[in-house]
Structure 1
């Protein structure tokens, strides 16, 4: 590998044997290095391979301003997330998470703690990401030596969620819309949700995925279920009326039409929790 840029004494941008740009992390790797020189493999502790020039440039910029141990913790957290989450993570997560962790560690040193009001929603709708956030606190404590407050688990989880939804709305918007739709159904039908029940978990997951589609502008546009919807109107008029109210809310707030297929799916899920 050949040095392209020296970012600091511990980080260099380099060109590997495939002519791809990589970020190299190693104690003293940048000391007395200069562009064009070959990299001594013995000085390399970590290799960051990021797809896309924008992700590379952003990470290189962040890497210059954060401690090496923050990058190490970031790499471990992202590696754990990629192993345990089903959805792929965008490489943009490296820069965003490293930047966040650096400020979180700095705030903790200053005795500043910021509460996250989304913890209950994140733990409910994104349990895997929230568990990773909690595990990330242990990684930070071990690698950086800083004990971050529990609220930071939610912040870390949100970075992981956003890295999965890079093509659509942010995690905050997705959670907010999911919560709003659940509230419309609850108020319209006078429900008291049993959040521990399998029926509620399936319903909330369906609403979450629907919210994702709405924010990405990719709702199901098929109207293949007009006949089944007519049957439901006769047999479950109150549930269909609730689905219609949700459809009106989504149309008003996000300009997305709900097809008959979406209405049928939603009504059937409502029937399980009503």
Structure 2
């Protein structure tokens, strides 16, 4: 029978153990460390409900993170990872647990110090990752029942990025880069066209989603058909939007370090023109 041999119990929910190959692991789960002593055995079949940190670097990071964390907070984080696993119905890697734990502890510390947590990409994150945002909302609502502070709405956006990272297996810093790119593009559009976009409007949702799909096509190297005649027409009829579309494309190229096909300027110009037109119509009716 495969089993883990306890080396040391860190608290009721976390312990250091050794597997059958004498590799040191960290086991995390509700009550897993309660009353456990050195050399006690834990059957492998029970570990399916736990998190096993086998990567040495992640182990060391996690040990440092949880050194001063209370058990209620730790358990709420462990439960949150379980919520993610169930909702996305896939494996959640070690890095997600460590990264989310680190983020929540940092957020708690800032709130306890009276420091405001502002998420400048909240609106974009909500539109870019609606499913992840829904899961994150559930997690933050759950955690706020147990944490010593109340996590604000901005934290939902941050947690949503962790959920997306777990789903896609993409590094969190890359996801942050793409979210920041979209936010920067929106700001440039507002500044250039002298408008303020309604973050709750369907026009805004459609446009942000178009930017997301454009970025995904660029990253994947997918080429869209270039309607040459339409490009010439748009350049002549809507020079402001056409030039702005190229400015946005150049920023994408610089940020993503990948070429953007000319055809993207056509579709971007059309979206910009429609967006601006709808804003003008609404302002006249109000």
TM-score band, normalised by the shorter chain?
0.7 to 0.9
Which residue matches 2:229? Answer: 231
Selected match of 2:125 from 94, 112, 122: 122
1:204 paired with 2:204, answer no
- Name the counterpart of 1:270: 272
Q: 1:188 to 1:149 in 2, by over 3 A?
A: closer
Determine the structure 1 residue equivalent to 2:221.
220
Deviates more, 1:90-99 or 1:131-140: 131-140
The C-alpha deviation readout for 1:79-134, integer Å capped at 9, x for no partner, is: 333444599755312112222323444455x4523231424443444444444444
TM-superposed CA distance for 1:199, in Å, is 3.8
- Tell me, yes or no, if the aligned pair for 1:9 and 1:30 is still in contact at 8 Å: yes
Change in 2 beyond 3 A, CA 1:270/1:90 = farther
- CA–CA distance in 2 between the matches of 1:191 and 1:146? 37
Stretches of structure 2 lacking an aligned partner (at least 5 in a row): 277-286
CA contact (8 A) 2:6 2:42 kept: no
Measured at CA, do residues 89 and 147 of structure 1 come closer, stay the same or move farther in structure 2, by a change above 3 Å? same
Classify 1:241/1:85 alpha carbon distance in 2 versus 1 (closer, same or farther; 3 Å). Answer: farther
> 1:84 and 1:45 mapped to 2: Cα distance?
16
Deviations 1:199-234 (A, max 9, x none): 4312211213434666xxx25353x624x1x12222
Contact map agreement 1:12 1:25 (CA 8 A) in 2 = no
1:181 aligned residue: 185
Conserved 8 A contact 1:122-1:175? yes
Contact 1:67 1:102 in 2 (8 A): no
- The verdict on how the C-alpha distance between 1:169 and 1:95 changes in structure 2, with shifts beyond 3 A counting, is closer
Q: Report if aligned partners of 1:81, 1:132 keep a CA contact under 8 Å in 2.
A: yes
1:98 corresponds to which residue?
101
Q: Is the 8 A contact 1:232 1:240 kept in 2?
A: no
| Cα RMSD, aligned residues only | 4.0
**Aligned partners of 1:62 and 1:98 also within 8 Å:** yes
Give the Cα separation in 2 of the matches to 1:48 and 1:185.
Answer: 45
Q: CA deviation at 1:73?
A: 1.0
Query: How far off is 1:17 after superposition?
Result: 7.8
Q: Secondary structure at the match of 2:116?
A: coil
Give 1:251's aligned residue.
253
Distance 2:102 2:57 in 1: 16
Q: TM-score, normalised by structure 2?
A: 0.70
Is the CA contact (8 Å cut-off) linking 2:123 and 2:199 kept in structure 1?
no
Map residues 46-195 of structure 1 onto 2, 5 A cutoff. 47-49=50-52, 54-84=57-87, 90-108=93-111, 110-118=112-120, 119-144=122-147, 146-163=149-166, 164=168, 166-167=170-171, 169-189=173-193, 193-195=197-199
Query: In the superposition, relative to structure 1, how do residues 92 and 186 fare at CA in structure 2: closer, same or farther (>3 Å)?
Result: same
- 1:159-210, CA deviations, whole angstroms, 9 ceiling, x for partnerless residues? 3345456347444322221022223344455555454443431221121343
Count of residue pairs brought into register by the alignment: 265
Q: Counterpart of 1:38?
A: 41
Matched residue of 1:39: which SS? strand
* Structure 1 match to 2:279: none
